[in-house]
Amino acid sequence: MAGCQKEICYEDINGHEPAPLKYVIPGGWQGKFGRDANPPSLHFAALFKVEGTVTVEADAGPAILFGTWQLVGDSLKTVYTFPGGDSFEFAAKFVDTVPRLQGYWRAIPPGGGGGSFYLDKY
């Protein structure tokens, strides 16, 4: 039997302890996002917590947003909501040897909009 958390798996299927991950999702990440086809140039940061919650900071304001995250395979999926009720999601491929997440964000209908982003682990 193996015991796992989002950031660490204590044993593989053969009962061996795997090598520790170089990078884990929980913690602070900072980068940029872009709207539509524009390249990322606007402030974007996220604080991922072990229990599956995330605090997102976006735009020049900045807006502080709260949401949840999960790792499904190697895909990081996050949903967060503005105080006015508009919800957004972003997704990125997670590779534990790379300190960068790159992916897309989009509004959850009925809202509109989307674009690309990157976040670097700090």
91, 77 Cβ separation under 8 angstroms: yes
Global pTM value: 0.81
Q: Which residue has the higher pLDDT, 11 or 51?
A: 51
* Six token digits for residue 72: 């499904």
Band of the pLDDT at 76, cuts 50, 70, 90? Answer: very high
| Residue 89 pLDDT exceeds 90 | yes
In a domain, 9, yes or no: no
Mean pLDDT of 78-105: 95
Mean pLDDT of 84-98: 94
Over residues 14-30, the pLDDT tens digits come to 777 766 768 999 999 99
In a domain, 83, yes or no: yes
Could you give the number of structural domains in the chain?
1
Q: For residues 40 and 48, give the distance between their C-alpha atoms in angstroms, rounded to a whole number.
A: 20
In a domain, 16, yes or no: no
| Residue 7 pLDDT exceeds 50 | no
In a domain, 7, yes or no: no
Q: If residue 70 lies in a helix (H) or strand (E), which one and from where to where?
A: strand 63-72
| Residue 12 pLDDT exceeds 70 | no
How does the average pLDDT of the chain come out, rounded?
A: 89
In a domain, 2, yes or no: no
In a domain, 13, yes or no: no
Domain containing residue 62: 27-121
Over residues 50-69, the pLDDT tens digits come to 999 999 999 877 889 999 99
| Residue 5 pLDDT exceeds 60 | no
In a domain, 6, yes or no: no
In a domain, 20, yes or no: no
CATH code, domain with 78: 2.40.128.20
